[in-house]
Chain A
Amino acid sequence: MTVPVPGITMPTMPTMPTMPTMPSLDPTNDVLGTGAAQAVQGTSGTDFAQLLSQGIDNLQGLQNNASNLAVQAATGDLDSIQDYTVASTEASVATQLAVTLRNQAVSAFNQIMQMQI
């Protein structure tokens, strides 16, 4: 009965501490009641926001690193070429990943919005 709820919150593995609240879903409560729904929304919402924020921070760091090395390459201060090529590859792939995640999130949102009620 409660299986679909963790199924939705796929990235929320660290939120296992919320599991002890599951026994409150005794038959007197409606499983799809507002309380359970709010709990799920709250945890998954903050976690996704945190994940997104961390991802953007990481991306920012990689891009800053690549930018600094690009400046070094232009000014002739670059010690090893591979440092720059690797950093720029990392920044590029991370950016593609962020864009892909955003596209998937928007796609999921659109699918939900187009759902027939």
Chain B
Amino acid sequence: MTGGYNAFQTLAIANTSMGAHQTWLDALADNIANINTYEPTTGNAFQAQYPIFQAREGGGVDVIGVADSDPQGRMVQMPDNPLADENGYVRAPDIDMASEMGQIIMAQRGFQAATSITRSAQTEYDTALQIGK
């Protein structure tokens, strides 16, 4: 990513962290966007996506996959819904809004922390460049 320029390892690591948290935020946005997406009982419910992080060899973090929520979802009685079956049921996604909002805060704070790391790294580089002046 940085062409093997080890002087910028801090920035490269922080970059992977920002990318991972960005992926998490994207997934959460998609989950929340579809929290009211209902599917007929004949098919799968909308599956929320949760990225799986793994530490990278040599520093950093990778998104190695995505975990999907239960395809069964929650059976909800909605007789007015045009997708409802003869008993009035539809499949709602198995998403907990409170949990999603909590995760958004975690992802956003993680992104902010990584940004703060880049700021510290820049200060560090500036300080090093002042040596001998």
Contact = CB atoms under 8 A, between A and B. Distances in A.
Contact of B3 (A61, A85, A104): A61
Interface residues of B, number: 20
A86 B3 contact: no
A90 B2 contact: yes
Contacts of B114: 82
B118 A86 contact: yes
A97 B11 contact: no
B101 to A, nearest CB: 23
A104 B3 CA distance: 26
Interface stretch (B15-23, B54-62, B64-72, B92-100): B15-23
A90 B19 contact: no
Contacts of B8: 90, 93
Interface residues of A, number: 17
Nearest to B132: A104
A65 B3 contact: yes
B15 A93 contact: no
Contact of A97 (B12, B15, B122, B129): B129
B5 A94 contact: yes
Interface of B is mostly: helix
A100 B129 CA distance: 7
A13 to B, nearest CB: 16
Interface string A50-83: 0000000010011001000000000000001011
A38 interface: no
Given A58-B5, A97-B129, A100-B129, A86 B14 contact: yes
29 contacts: A58-B3, A58-B5, A62-B2, A62-B3, A62-B5, A80-B19, A80-B22, A82-B15, A82-B18, A82-B22, A82-B115, A83-B15, A85-B118, A89-B11, A89-B118, A89-B122, A90-B2, A90-B5, A90-B8, A90-B11, A93-B8, A93-B122, A93-B129, A94-B5, A96-B125, A96-B129, A97-B125, A100-B133, A104-B132
Given A58-B3, A85-B118, A89-B122, 10 more contacts: A62-B5, A65-B3, A80-B18, A82-B18, A82-B22, A86-B14, A86-B118, A90-B2, A93-B8, A94-B5
Interface of B: 2-3, 5, 7-8, 11-12, 14-15, 18-19, 22, 114-115, 118, 122, 125, 129, 132-133
